[in-house]
Amino acid sequence: MGQLTGRVAIVTGASDGIGKAIANTFAAEGAKTVFAARSLDKLEALVKAVKDKGGDALAVKTDVTSEADILNLFKQTKDTYGRLDVLVNNAGMASGGATHELTLEQWGKMMDTNLTSVFLCSREALKIMKPQKSGRIIMIGSISSLTPRPNGVMYTTTKHGLEGLTHSICQDYRDDHITASLLRVGSTATNFSKIPREKAVGPEFLMDPMDVAQVVTMMAAQRKEQNIYELTMLPTEQRSFIARG
């Protein structure tokens, strides 16, 4: 028996990086896992690999900036598996710029991708979870919500928004036995990283997405009566966070 046997999960941004690691780990732990992202070819290859190992998974092409795509993602999940136990709001992008130079278009793209998408996915998840009287929504946040990087105002603002969504969902859906959790992640070796992992040593160390995925799996697998409300995971010496300069 895996830690998530019998549960149905959606992971957004499952085609690469941390989301891919989470979705693969969930499937290996027995969850019926819905892989969502824009790159359908990558999703289909990942789902095939899960099925080849005897797991159950579904690929749904989803641009999280499209409300129609999100509605389709949750409809396909409900039609295929009949329920939803875990949503991982992972899809995201990073982009920088000084506040006085940013355009409304840049700002809007970041909000749509990292924050409005999470509202929309959480809303659709709650519609399925409320009648079930159970469910868990996990947000992939960032240590940037605690300490911004220089010129990271847009990214930091979106990750702050996840804190508000997490706490509000916990508050508003407590009587429905639905909860939300926030994992603030530090530097991890994905497309976000500017240096290859083998060169990222000491204060530049990058975490392995599979290690992050193990922690998300632990959060997802908690018994219904308890919740890991917030958690911060980062490289021990994370230069941009632990120490100034």
Ligand X SMILES: NC(=O)c1ccc[n+]([C@@H]2O[C@H](COP(=O)([O-])OP(=O)(O)OC[C@H]3O[C@@H](n4cnc5c(N)ncnc54)[C@H](OP(=O)(O)O)[C@@H]3O)[C@@H](O)[C@H]2O)c1
Catalytic status, residue 155: yes
Q: Counting contacts by CB under 6 A, is residue 157 touching ligand X?
A: no
Decide if 122 contacts 89 (C-beta within 8 A).
Answer: yes
Copy the structure tokens of residue 198. Answer: 């083998």
Q: How far apart are CA 179 and CA 168, in angstroms?
A: 10
Name residues whose C-beta falls within 8 Å of residue 102's C-beta, 6 or more positions apart in sequence. 153, 154
- Euclidean distance between CA atoms 14 and 16, whole angstroms: 6
**Window 129-148: contact mask with ligand X (x via CB under 6 A):** -----------x-x------
Q: What x/- string results for residues 192 through 211 when contact with ligand X is judged by CB under 6 A? A: x-------------------
The reply to whether 90 sits near ligand X by the rule CB under 6 A is: yes
Give me the count of residues in the chain.
Answer: 245
> At closest approach, how far in Å is the CB of 6 from ligand X?
26
Task: Check residue 152 for interaction with ligand X (CB under 6 A).
Answer: no
Q: Is 119 in the site for ligand X (CB under 6 A)?
A: no
**Short-list 171, 221, 158, 199, CA closest to 7:** 221
Least distance to ligand X from the beta carbon of 117, Å? 7
Residues within the interface to ligand X (CB under 6 A): 12-13, 15-19, 37-39, 62-65, 90-93, 113, 140, 142, 185, 187-188, 190-192
